[in-house]
Amino acid sequence: MFFLRTEQTGLVFDVQRYCVHDGPGIRTTVFLKGCNLRCFWCHNPESYSQTQDLMFYSNKCIACGKCFELCPHSCHTIADDGAHLIDRSKCTLCAACAKRCFAGALTMSGRMRTTADVMKTVRADAVFYRNSGGGLTVSGGEPMLQSAFVTELFQAARTEGIHTALDTAGNIDPREYDAVLPHTSLILFDLKCMDETVHKAATGVGLSRILENIRRMGRGSVPVWVRVPVILGVNATTENMRAVHRLLADLPAIKKLELLPYHNLGASKYENLGLTYKHSDMKAPSKELMAELIGCFADADYQTSA
């Protein structure tokens, strides 16, 4: 088999094998760090920063004291009630504590990996991709913040006949996609909501670049699956879904629309990162509401699912 010569590295925070929700078939999903949105419901908050993060799992801590001894900046302290505190304002992410925490209570999220190294993991499941119509998905965060790495990774995968899917939220200069799309088999476009004011309040950014990119991709040669997370109080209305339908109606590359109900499975990660999850009482949309919302796309030319 011919392997492409590679040289790029990317900051990867997770690689999940045997995924069935990130494109067709069985897939390996590579998660890259860095995101330029701040969706308040995000279940991957460790993707926010473009640097490593220190994660602390208090339930695994055996109180051995190693991190207190090793930290050069005395970041680890004990509160009056016995809780293990970390002063993250002093932390330089040197990783000294995480390297010696044998209980696994302290870990660094994010590791620089070469294209060749990631491809070793991806290649290991080639037989599953062949049998299921699956492949490699790159997600995040916003993977396009590391577009040179994604381009090289996709190029390497496609050289070996592996299907590639790019999971993007589209808040990127449209020219950035020019290098990666020739090596992309499928675009998974995450669209949040159609109201500029609500979008800005919910994600921290406006819609203009996102809409420009979805229109451009929707008229391009790479098939696009649009994925809309359904978030109560943000976009879970028929009015919003009809606006999505109008947007997609004249875009021939759109092949599928998926409505994804909100879940709070990522809530504990906020605590592990020393962040506060402000929406722990947020509910998932009911089955009835999901059925009503997907009904807005009943006459669509593309596939739909909810």
Which of 146, 262, 192 is closest to 37 using CA atoms?
192
Q: How far is the CB of 96 from ligand SF4 (least distance, A)?
A: 4
66 contacts ligand SF4 (rule: CB under 6 A): yes
Which of 42, 71, 153, 162 binds ligand SF4 (CB under 6 A)? It is 71
Q: How far is the CB of 90 from ligand SF4 (least distance, A)?
A: 7
Residue closer to ligand SF4, measured from CB, 103 or 291 = 103
What are the tokens at 143?
A: 């993977």
Which of 17, 21, 73, 219 binds ligand SF4 (CB under 6 A)? It is 73
The angle, 0 to 180 degrees and rounded to 10, between the axes of the packed helices 147-159 and 115-123 is: 40
Q: Tell me if residue 243 falls in helix, strand or coil.
A: helix
The angle, 0 to 180 degrees and rounded to 10, between the axes of the packed helices 208-218 and 238-248 is: 50
Of residues 85-124, those binding ligand SF4 (CB under 6 A): 86, 91-97, 101, 103, 105-106
Amino acid 232 reads L
What are the tokens at 43?
A: 């279940």
Q: Are 136 and 30 in contact (CB under 8 A)?
A: yes
Q: How far is the CB of 54 from ligand SF4 (least distance, A)?
A: 5
Quickly tell me which residue has 């997370």 as its tokens.
229
As a whole number of angstroms, the distance between CA 240 and CA 305 comes to 17
Q: How far is the CB of 301 from ligand SF4 (least distance, A)?
A: 52
Residue closer to ligand SF4, measured from CB, 78 or 291 = 78
Q: What is the Rg, in whole angstroms, of the alpha carbon atoms belonging to the chain?
A: 21
Q: How far is the CB of 33 from ligand SF4 (least distance, A)?
A: 16
Tell me the window of 18-26, 68-76, 136-144, 168-176 that interacts with ligand SF4 (CB under 6 A).
68-76
Residue closer to ligand SF4, measured from CB, 60 or 263 = 60
What are the tokens at 249?
A: 């109606």
What are the tokens at 44?
A: 């991957």
Q: How far is the CB of 50 from ligand SF4 (least distance, A)?
A: 17
Of residues 39-58, those binding ligand SF4 (CB under 6 A): 54
Q: How far is the CB of 88 from ligand SF4 (least distance, A)?
A: 8
Which of 75, 138, 180, 202 binds ligand SF4 (CB under 6 A)? It is 75
Residue closer to ligand SF4, measured from CB, 96 or 282 = 96
DSSP type of residue 264: -
Measured CA to CA in angstroms, residue 89 lies from 28, 54, 92, 235 at distances of: 35, 12, 8, 35
How many other C-beta atoms can be found within 10 angstroms of the C-beta atom of residue 39? 20
Q: How far is the CB of 89 from ligand SF4 (least distance, A)?
A: 11
Give Cβ neighbours of residue 275 (< 8 Å, ≥ 6 apart).
Answer: 45
Number of residues located near ligand SF4, criterion CB under 6 A: 24
Residues that bind ligand SF4 (CB under 6 A): 54, 61-67, 70-71, 73, 75, 86, 91-97, 101, 103, 105-106
